[in-house]
């Protein structure tokens, strides 16, 4: 088979193992087309087949996992019709080989669940192995902490049906939990724990206690309830200090399991019934058996249909007890000692069945360290790769820059000046810039980007600025014209152009021509900037605003339009320190944390829904003083599924009943871009007193005259989004106010809303948002979402992150390619985690 088809099959097979999550390749399956098309043509693959592959993979990201499975299956069948050597095994793309021992493949459903199974101990003998290790790497979510290597016991790739009590039906149910092999079970961590290790005498029990009680069965009674439709088993146990009733509903077979005089251990929550303490349906065991479910810290696993907690715990115990100590640790002993970490075998054992809270904490720290460590090594490699190529130098004199700064209508803040100095050094370093500028809404990031662009343009090259919305692109365009083409500017207005979706076709053609011949120096736009027919004569500076709103491919597409261009990404979403250290560790970061002079912090209040009239009174007062107001809603129209107020519906009420004497405008996401722009321009030009809007105003609206914002359904927004919205007011010198009204009265105490009222610091709010909502709010599609797959590490644990980062940096300085013999296993595990790709550096 041609190498390009073999490569295609390999990725299809891996995609199947990853359950069609589009993670076989970092950045998505379509990413392979960058090189595969050329290889396929070199192999003589027909153009018809190449185009079939291209069209399927281009649309792959947009369809559901089930649709993806069908798409790849159909595509491989199509390839097999043209190339029979591929068609001989068409199901390879959907069903990886060697998933089950040969004996099972012959008649998978014929064996009964009660039939004997291979115990894990038998698997340890090479001559008894019936299962070869899987040939392909596991899904990366597994490899985060379970990064395999050549010394990983081959038996860990055995199918779960080797376990006693796991037949085809149970194996199918376990597969829904992502469990297919013994190795999968090692890394299927408990979602929480119940600490039953604190035994209490019955006389000391209190209502709501979660405890383990040891006692002797004194009596067992069964009685019907609900007219005989149900039954309850009542067992009285005593321990010499008192007696306790335990009840089991609709489990009549238990009446034969409890024997009077038998000592048992019961674990559960203490309840109350008719003034007496009781336990309902607790876990129980005779005390002479190993107290696996009671009298200890008990792991609680996520379950699926047909799988019970007790049954899964038993299976886990048999696998963990035998195999966890046998796992070979890829992390070098020197690093384990320096970071004071327990061994991997100890960590895996204790994270499933901890002997104490202290040992559980050490196990979690070790497994979390591994995740962050692999993450850090990859980020450091990306940074090295980015810096390994040459970038064009652009240098300007202090006099030249001083002239530019003196022409500005304001003085830069200290933070802006520091960021500009960083950019100036990067541009003159001989290496491509890869910098993130973060700062609150209104902190002045745009002027820093514009000055960076002016340095590049003065050196004869071009710059491109990409924004997520046409409104924001137009605002940047106006600012660039004012800053660079105004009085004392270095450019003419014709050298700076705006390219958005509703730019006329004739104007687009003129812009494309100007970029190609170099007469246009700066283009500012939306996705239109990365269209295939937009070509540059010499693109050397790329600015991406609100970078988390763009996909990996879109950022790469813009970068590819130049030769190793300098890259500046900007965000008004403050990045928490822990994320800056990990996920964004490949970027150099500049922080603009000083607001321009004259800006006053926005005062924020949380109002109860019945206090809405107070908000309306404040709005009327501000408008009477010549100011303007925003009223923001989470929805466009009312929804039966979501209980929240909506912009379109409330607009009628506000216009006719609440503010009949004022001029109101309506803005929402379903309007055409031209309609949105018209409404925003009218609001900016004071033709409207109040703008009723959805979150389309989150980025890109600069109306200094607006001094009050009312946010309805505020509890439905994340902190980062609320902070962005609030940044739309207070852009002038007048004291401004933000009013937050939650959906319901009981949401008034919402932690996010109260935090908004207490602080204006975007960084404090970002840290809290990270703890409350996780990293998704900050990451977008960066690195194909790897940080959201962390199983053990908390992305908020700065102490652990700094420890792992310190060790990764030290190792990277000694052996960046992990080529030394003592790092061989670590190198294999690292490659398994990151795969062949390098991720996305922007």
Question: What is the Cα–Cα distance from 643 to 91, expressed in whole angstroms?
Answer: 47
- Of the two residues 476 and 86, the one the predictor is more confident about is 476
The overall longest dimension of the chain from CA atoms, in Å, is 98
Residue 1: band (very low, low, confident or very high) from pLDDT cuts 50, 70, 90? confident
The strand pairing partners of 591, in sequence order, are: 438
Percent above pLDDT 90 for the chain: 23
- pLDDT tens digits for range 590-645: 888 877 776 778 899 999 888 999 999 999 999 999 999 999 988 776 554 555 66
Provide the whole-model pTM. Answer: 0.59
Q: Of 253 and 792, which is predicted with more confidence?
A: 253
* Helical ranges in 685-730 per DSSP H: 719-726
| Contact criterion met (CB below 8 Å) for 149 and 311 | no
pLDDT of residue 347: 93
- Supply the pLDDT for residue 748: 55
Burial 254-272 (b: 16+ CB within 10 A, else e): eeeebeeeeebbbbbebbe
* Residues facing residue 299 across a β-bridge: 193
Which of 32-36, 484-488, 656-660 holds the top average pLDDT?
Answer: 656-660
Residue 139 in this model has a pLDDT that exceeds 70: no
* E-strand stretches of 178-260: 192-195, 210-225, 230-238, 243-249
Q: What percent of the chain has pLDDT over 70?
A: 82
Average pLDDT, the chain: 79
Lowest mean pLDDT among 90-94, 300-304, 478-482: 90-94
Q: Residue 777: is its pLDDT beyond 60?
A: no
pLDDT digits (tens, 9 = 90+) for 496-543: 999 988 888 999 999 999 999 999 999 999 888 888 888 999 999 999
Task: Report whether pLDDT(146) > 70.
Answer: no
Cβ atoms of 353 and 298 closer than 8 Å: no
Split at pLDDT 50, 70, 90, the class of 488 is low
Query: Which residue, chain included where needed, has tokens 């996010």?
Result: 752
Backbone angles phi, psi at 813, to 5 degrees: -70, -35
pLDDT in the model for residue 352: 94
The Cα 193–Cα 191 span in angstroms is 7
Confirm if 341 and 369 have CB atoms less than 8 A apart.
yes
pLDDT digits (tens, 9 = 90+) for 272-285: 888 888 999 888 87
Question: Where does the pLDDT of residue 455 fall: very low under 50, low under 70, confident under 90, or very high at 90 and above?
Answer: very high
Average pLDDT value for residue range 770-798: 57
User: Tens of pLDDT along 532-571?
Assistant: 888 999 999 999 887 555 545 555 676 788 888 998 988 8
Q: What is the DSSP letter of 133?
A: P
Query: Quick count: other Cβ atoms within 10 Å of Cβ 366?
Result: 25
CA distances from 675 to 498, 570, 636 (A): 18, 27, 15
In order of 20, 25, 191, 267, the CA distances from 11 in angstroms are: 11, 8, 31, 48
Distance CA 57, CA 42 (A): 20
- 797-823: pLDDT as tens digits: 778 888 888 898 899 888 888 888 888
Residue range 351-360, pLDDT digits in tens: 999 988 899 9
- Provide the pLDDT for residue 775: 58
Residue 790's pLDDT band, with cuts at 50, 70 and 90, is low
**776 falls in which pLDDT band (50, 70, 90)?**
low
Work out the number of other CB atoms within 10 angstroms of the CB of residue 122: 14
Residue 90 pLDDT greater than 80, yes or no: no
Per-residue pLDDT, 747:
58
Question: Any idea which of 53-57, 327-331, 350-354, 396-400 has the lowest mean pLDDT?
Answer: 53-57
Question: Nearest CA to 694 among 674, 675, 713, 718?
Answer: 713
Predicted pLDDT of residue 111: 33
Residue 535 DSSP one-character state: -
Q: How high is the pLDDT of residue 507? A: 92
CB crowding 310-346: b at 16 or more within 10 Å, else e: eebbebbbbbbebbbeebebbbbeebbeebebbbbbb
CB of 466 within 8 A of CB of 544? yes
Give the count of beta carbons closer than 10 Å to the beta carbon of residue 825.
21
3-state helix, strand, coil in the chain (%, to 5): 45, 15, 40
- Nearest-angstrom CA–CA distance, 821 and 735: 64
793-796-797 Cα angle (round to 5):
60
Q: Which residue do the tokens 């047909």 mark? A: 306
The yes-or-no verdict on residue 110 having pLDDT over 60 is no
The Cα-based distances of 753 to 30, 516, 613, 749 in angstroms read 41, 50, 19, 7
**When comparing pLDDT for 323 and 598, which is higher?**
323
Q: What are phi and psi of 436, to 5 degrees?
A: -110, 125
When pLDDT is averaged across residues 3-9 and rounded to a whole number, the result is 83
Section 145-162 average pLDDT: 76
Distance CA 489, CA 454 (A): 10
């Amino acid at each position: 088979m041609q190498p390009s088809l073999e490569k295609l099959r390999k990725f299809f097979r891996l995609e199947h193992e990853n359950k069609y999550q589009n993670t076989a390749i970092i950045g998505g399956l379509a990413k392979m087309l960058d090189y595969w098309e050329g290889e396929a043509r070199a192999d003589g693959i027909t153009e018809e087949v190449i185009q079939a592959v291209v069209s399927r993979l281009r649309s792959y990201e947009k369809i559901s996992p089930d649709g993806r499975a069908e798409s790849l299956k159909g595509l491989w069948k199509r390839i097999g019709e043209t190339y029979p050597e591929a068609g001989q095994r068409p199901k390879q793309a959907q069903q990886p080989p060697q998933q089950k021992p040969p004996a099972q493949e012959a008649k998978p459903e014929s064996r009964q669940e009660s039939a004997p199974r291979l115990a894990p101990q038998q698997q340890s003998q090479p001559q008894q192995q019936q299962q070869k290790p899987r040939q392909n790497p596991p899904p990366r979510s597994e490899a985060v902490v379970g990064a395999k290597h050549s010394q990983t016991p081959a038996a860990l790739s055995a199918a779960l049906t080797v376990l006693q009590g796991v037949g085809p039906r149970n194996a199918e149910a376990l597969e829904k939990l992502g469990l297919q092999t013994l190795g999968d079970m090692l890394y299927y961590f408990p979602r929480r724990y119940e600490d039953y290790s604190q035994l209490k005498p019955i006389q000391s029990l209190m209502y709501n206690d979660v405890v383990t009680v040891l006692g002797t069965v004194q009596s067992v009674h069964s009685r019907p309830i609900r007219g005989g439709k149900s039954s309850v088993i009542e067992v009285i146990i005593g321990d010499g200090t008192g007696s306790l009733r335990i009840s089991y509903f609709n489990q009549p077979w238990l009446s034969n399991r409890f024997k009077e005089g038998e000592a048992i251990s019961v674990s559960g929550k203490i309840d109350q019934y008719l003034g007496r303490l009781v336990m309902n349906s607790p876990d129980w065991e005779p005390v002479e058996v190993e107290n696996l479910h009671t009298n200890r810290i008990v792991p609680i696993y996520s379950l699926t249909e047909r799988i019970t907690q007790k049954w899964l715990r038993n299976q886990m115990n048999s696998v963990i007890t035998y195999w966890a100590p046998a796992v070979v640790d890829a992390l070098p002993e020197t690093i384990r000692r320096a970071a004071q970490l327990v061994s991997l075998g100890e960590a895996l054992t204790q994270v499933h069945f901890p002997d104490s809270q202290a040992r559980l904490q050490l196990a979690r720290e070790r497994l979390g360290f591994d995740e962050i460590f692999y993450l850090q090594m990859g980020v450091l490699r990306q940074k090295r790769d980015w810096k390994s190529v040459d970038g064009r130098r652009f240098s300007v004199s202090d006099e030249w820059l001083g002239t530019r700064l003196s022409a500005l209508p304001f003085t830069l803040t200290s933070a802006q000046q520091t960021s500009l100095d960083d950019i100036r050094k990067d541009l003159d370093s001989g290496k491509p810039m890869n910098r993130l500028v973060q700062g609150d809404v209104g902190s002045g990031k745009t002027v820093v980007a514009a000055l960076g662009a002016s340095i590049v343009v003065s050196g004869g090259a071009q710059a491109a600025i990409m924004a997520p919305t046409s409104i924001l692109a137009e605002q940047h365009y106006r600012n660039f014209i004012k800053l660079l083409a105004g009085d004392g500017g270095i450019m003419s207005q014709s050298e700076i152009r705006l390219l958005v979706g509703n730019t006329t076709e004739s104007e687009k053609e003129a812009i494309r021509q100007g970029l190609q011949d170099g007469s246009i120096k700066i283009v500012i736009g939306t996705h239109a900037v990365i269209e295939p027919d937009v070509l540059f004569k010499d693109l050397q500076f790329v600015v991406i605003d609100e970078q988390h709103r763009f996909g990996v491919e879109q950022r790469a597409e813009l970068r590819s339009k130049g030769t190793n261009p300098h890259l500046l990404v900007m965000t008004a979403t403050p990045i928490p320190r822990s994320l800056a250290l990990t996920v964004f560790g490949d970027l150099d970061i500049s922080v603009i944390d000083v607001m321009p002079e004259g800006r006053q912090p926005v005062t924020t209040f949380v109002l109860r829904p019945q206090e809405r009239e107070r908000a309306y009174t404040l709005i009327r007062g501000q408008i009477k003083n010549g100011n303007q107001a925003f009223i923001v809603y989470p929805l466009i129209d009312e929804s039966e599924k979501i209980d929240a107020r909506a912009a379109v519906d409330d607009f009628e009420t506000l216009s006719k009943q609440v503010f009949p004497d004022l001029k109101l405008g309506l803005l929402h996401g379903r309007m055409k871009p031209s309609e949105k722009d018209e409404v925003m321009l009218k609001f900016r030009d004071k033709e409207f007193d109040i703008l009723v809007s959805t979150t389309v105003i989150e980025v890109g609206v600069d109306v200094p005259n607006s001094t009050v914002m009312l946010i309805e359904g505020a509890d439905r927004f994340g902190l980062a989004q609320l902070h962005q919205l609030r940044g739309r007011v207070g852009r002038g010198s007048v004291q401004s106010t933000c009013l937050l009204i939650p959906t319901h009265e009981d949401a008034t105490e919402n932690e996010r809303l109260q935090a908004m009222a207490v602080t204006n610091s975007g960084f404090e709010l970002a840290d809290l948002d990270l703890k409350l909502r996780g990293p998704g709010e900050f990451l977008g599609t960066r690195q194909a979402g790897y940080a959201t797959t962390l199983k053990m590490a908390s992305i908020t644990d700065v102490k652990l992150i700094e420890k792992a980062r310190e060790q990764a940096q030290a190792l990277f300085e000694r052996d960046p390619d992990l080529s030394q013999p003592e790092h061989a296993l670590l190198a294999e595990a690292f490659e398994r985690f990151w795969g062949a790709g390098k991720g996305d550096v922007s």
